[in-house]
Amino acid sequence: MSRSLFVRQMVTYLVIILTALAILAILLSSFFQNYIMETRTAELVREGEAISQYIGYYLSGLIDTRTLHYQYQVIDRFLGVTIWVTDARGYIWSSHNSTQLDAVEWENEKLTIDEFVQVLEGNTITRVGRFGESFPVPVLTVGMPLKINDKVGGTIFLHSPIKGINRTLRDTYMSIWRSAIISTVLSIFISYFITRRITNPLIEMNMISREIATGNFKRRVKVKTRDEVGQLAMNFNAMADSLEKLELMRRSFVANVSHELKSPLTSMRGYIQGVLDHTISNEDREKYLAIALEETERMNRLINDLLDLSQIQTGQFSLDIKVLDINETIRRVLIAWEDRINEKGMDIEVDFDQEARLVEGDPDRLQQVIINLLDNAIKFTREGGLIKLKTWQYKEKVFVKVEDQGPGIPEDEIAHIWEPFYQIDKSRSRVKGGTGLGLSIVKKIIEGHGQNIWLNSEKGKGSAFIFSLRAAKKA
């Protein structure tokens, strides 16, 4: 797959580069060909006009034959052309040739060719070819009328061998194609590296994703660029990170659940066994059976909490949102726990800014939140401590605060206490009868309401849990 992407990419690059270069080369070649031919033709036309002028001077006696021939020679040498001057009947009157196009002596030959007629009619012509059968090799011919006293009195033909022109053209073609080949080779290298840069991380990601699928979360992609591929690699790594974390959480969750279920089961088994085989005396039976019953209740609570948590986590729980008085909920929990609070000799301070504080939420779930927070506050505060409960409204929100004077929570633990089974001092928390699920359920319930929960705490200075709720709209 990845290999074919690389090949595809390379082939695409090459096709584009080669096509562009070929088009460029063809255009440049034809441009140069035209340019060279036109320049040469223009030269021949200019020199033809000069010859015509000199012949005019000669006929009017301004220069003599020698000077005229001298001029021919100059032009002939300079341009390397064969020059014919004919009279009106077509007889070659004067021929000059320094190019050794052929050895034929042209003077006094008669021109019958069509081109001669056209020139005699006053046209200037350009031809490429052997000019009838006149030359053994192709030549560029320019023919123009020879005007004497503004009348066509003959013709001038200049023949330039194509070979010279072709050589120039060939040189030009050569340099065009040479640069085309060099740039092709260069661009093959460049596109190879560019393609590699794109496909390498993709190949790597492909391999690593296969490893992740088999359960190895350790490897990450090397991020080398900041472009889209680099961003993809970065996101891929982030995804691998969270998968790894999730997998760790899942494993520790299973381990925790098994452990939490195992210890009460073991002790229950011990007590029941003792009762059955009479290692426990008759007087003690009741006491141990009561402990076993307590353990079943603990397990029951744990399983209920786990069910709650799994329902919340899989999104299977639906909130039954109603308008309720949160102050009333708090009061009811306090009344239910009056004995427990009195037993511990604790003081409760309630600070409601209003008799009833109406909010929108699920009454049962919010009661669960209050119970969990208050349970923690009572559990972790020393005997005779003070717990403050406060509710107030700010704009569209109602805030609830549960504050205690317990041991507080160290700063580096604050982020973790919301995780399932997390307990700061495992052995001590366990003695107090918890499993570490309370706060994770609380957080999920509050988040399910679209609200937030915060914790202000410092080690040794107590803790304050504050959460928000949506205030009920006034009817």
List of residues contacting Mg ion (CB under 5 A): 376, 434, 438
For residue 97, the partner it binds in Mg ion, ligand ATP, none, with Cβ less than 5 to 8 A by kind, is none
> What would the x/- binding string for ligand ATP be over residues 363 to 382, using CB under 6 A?
---------x---xx--x--
Q: Is 106 in the site for ligand ATP (CB under 6 A)?
A: no
- Put the strands of the sheet holding 139-148 in their side by side order: 92-97, 82-87, 151-161, 139-148, 125-129
Q: Which amino acid is at 168?
A: T
Q: What totals of helices (H) and strands (E) does the chain contain, helices first?
A: 11, 12
Q: Which is nearer to Mg ion, 358 or 437 (by Cβ)?
A: 437
Which residue in this structure is represented by tokens 């660029």?
225
Q: Is 436 in the site for ligand ATP (CB under 6 A)?
A: yes
Q: Which token pair is 381?
A: 């505060």
Q: Which token pair is 448?
A: 């399910």
Residue nearest to Mg ion (CB): 438
For residue 21, the partner it binds in Mg ion, ligand ATP, none, with Cβ less than 5 to 8 A by kind, is none
Q: Which is nearer to Mg ion, 144 or 377 (by Cβ)?
A: 377
- What is the C-alpha separation between 10 and 33, in angstroms, rounded? 34
Q: Contact, 63 vs 191, CB < 8 A?
A: no
- What is the C-alpha separation between 382 and 378, in angstroms, rounded? 8
Site for ligand ATP in 279-318 (CB under 6 A): 305
Hey, which residues does 402 pair with through a beta bridge? 389, 465
SS3 (DSSP) at 391:
strand
Site for ligand ATP in 390-419 (CB under 6 A): 404, 406-407, 409, 417
For residue 435, the partner it binds in ligand ATP, Mg ion, none, with Cβ less than 5 to 8 A by kind, is ligand ATP
Q: Which is nearer to ligand ATP, 72 or 422 (by Cβ)?
A: 422
For residue 155, the partner it binds in ligand ATP, Mg ion, none, with Cβ less than 5 to 8 A by kind, is none
Q: Which is nearer to ligand ATP, 275 or 400 (by Cβ)?
A: 400
Provide the residue count of the chain.
475
Q: Which is nearer to ligand ATP, 71 or 376 (by Cβ)?
A: 376
SS3 (DSSP) at 299:
helix
Q: Which token pair is 133?
A: 């059968």
Smallest separation, CB 372 to Mg ion (Å)? 5
For residue 320, the partner it binds in Mg ion, ligand ATP, none, with Cβ less than 5 to 8 A by kind, is none
Q: Is 21 in the site for ligand ATP (CB under 6 A)?
A: no
Q: Is 423 in the site for ligand ATP (CB under 6 A)?
A: yes
Smallest separation, CB 330 to ligand ATP (Å)? 16
Q: Is 264 in the site for ligand ATP (CB under 6 A)?
A: no
Q: Which is nearer to ligand ATP, 399 or 422 (by Cβ)?
A: 422
Q: Contact, 183 vs 18, CB < 8 A?
A: no
Contact pick of 438, 446, 449, 453 for ligand ATP (by CB under 6 A) = 438
Contact pick of 176, 434, 444, 468 for ligand ATP (by CB under 6 A) = 434
Q: Contact, 358 vs 325, CB < 8 A?
A: yes
- DSSP code at position 390: E
Distances (CA, A) of 285 to 267, 292, 323, 348, 462: 14, 10, 49, 38, 41
Q: Which is nearer to ligand ATP, 16 or 303 (by Cβ)?
A: 303
Q: Diameter of the chain by CA atoms?
A: 162
The pair phi, psi for residue 100, each rounded to 5°, is 50, 45
For residue 437, the partner it binds in Mg ion, ligand ATP, none, with Cβ less than 5 to 8 A by kind, is ligand ATP
- What is the C-alpha separation between 52 and 285, in angstroms, rounded? 144
Binding residues for ligand ATP, rule: CB under 6 A, are 305, 372, 376-377, 380, 404, 406-407, 409, 417, 422-425, 429, 434-440, 463
